[in-house]
Structure 1
């Protein structure tokens, strides 16, 4: 009689490495404060009162406090226009007491989100959403990485996932997740395939992936039978009900490593945001001392 119990994939827990990164960030913030007398400051901008966005911003502000980062919140009404939002972001960009700016996504139906992102000064773009940041990241130049892709790369490193020569499939092509994730993988010598909502026969491409990043925003789109045995599965989707883009139960029976939702990519995203805020403050303040 054979054992019918499947061997389950190992979980890629993001909470522990995120905690370590946040601890290191808190130490860096304390050192900066000791040298300059300045506490790093992250400004969060929220348009409207979408419940999920309100929760996300509150979570990020709470994490700021734990990391020794000052949080300045700018709530704006849902009726805010693109021009009004651009003005607010321009003022924050010019404010020397603000070191990083986060515009919570989505910014609402009345806003041209790309125009709003571009109003953020590159030196304060700690969420990595401007075209300047994307270009710098793509060419390996100094700048800030989009936080979720940056968190994904740190998670892959944490679990010692070798990328050289591996086939990485990214499902999703958003400017702040799918596209930058693919560029970061390419920079690590992976062979990258982008897929999206119009990809023909998606399962056949997914079956070729040594590393799969699901970031398309469609609940449980990817199932276990779609995966290559032993694949590394990064679920960067988050849908209502704490459901990712991957059907977790079936995928865990076939993958080698897999991120949970929640508790995988999410904690790393926030940890990278905090780390980049302190890095931005350090660059802006320079080597000055008290």
Structure 2
């Protein structure tokens, strides 16, 4: 009879450990997946921003050396992702191909101007910074005007701020849920050993001595759950990268590595803190309170 009861207790204990591992794995996997979305949302937003072009048009009186100097300074500027010089002849040819006929045959001359298309780095694509760059370039005597889609930049900035805000809110909510779920699972596993805890305490064991094996056991469960979650994330990342290569999911290796490390440490930290609090609670209970 006693051995049957012991087997039953062991099965309950194993089940509680398995439930803790499953809870940790699922919650950390969801958090990690959300982290990937956060990382790639910034990458996608940056790609959209870096497609915005700032075009510098030169006066017909601009000297070739002035154009070359500005082209070189723009290429070396901190805010420049890339720059392309477009001669008035190349612009006319492209425009003729676009409309399907040579417009210069009607006009008798080429009304277009030499220009430089400047693609800015994502961090500089904002209404304020882009205007500052535009005004700085337009102040040069040989520059006729600087044009860019101001409404598009404003729209991009506003939408990215909104998306970032809600992603952070959802991330915070998921983090709280993760902590609560993992904490609940660990408390249940510690609850199953509450009488053992109190018995050890009654025979003179210190709180630290009693708490240590529970903490380390939970940390090991946290490590196992975190590793399973990371394996799941790696599989999903590989599959999505093979299916949608245009997203370049594996390009941000440093950020992806930091995310994996963060998920692993989060699993360890939550299990450690949750077990510490749970064992401390049962250590502080009176014997008659263990039955409630």
TM (norm. structure 1) is 0.22
Greater radius of gyration (CA): 2
- Give 1 or 2: higher strand fraction: 1
TM (norm. structure 2) is 0.22
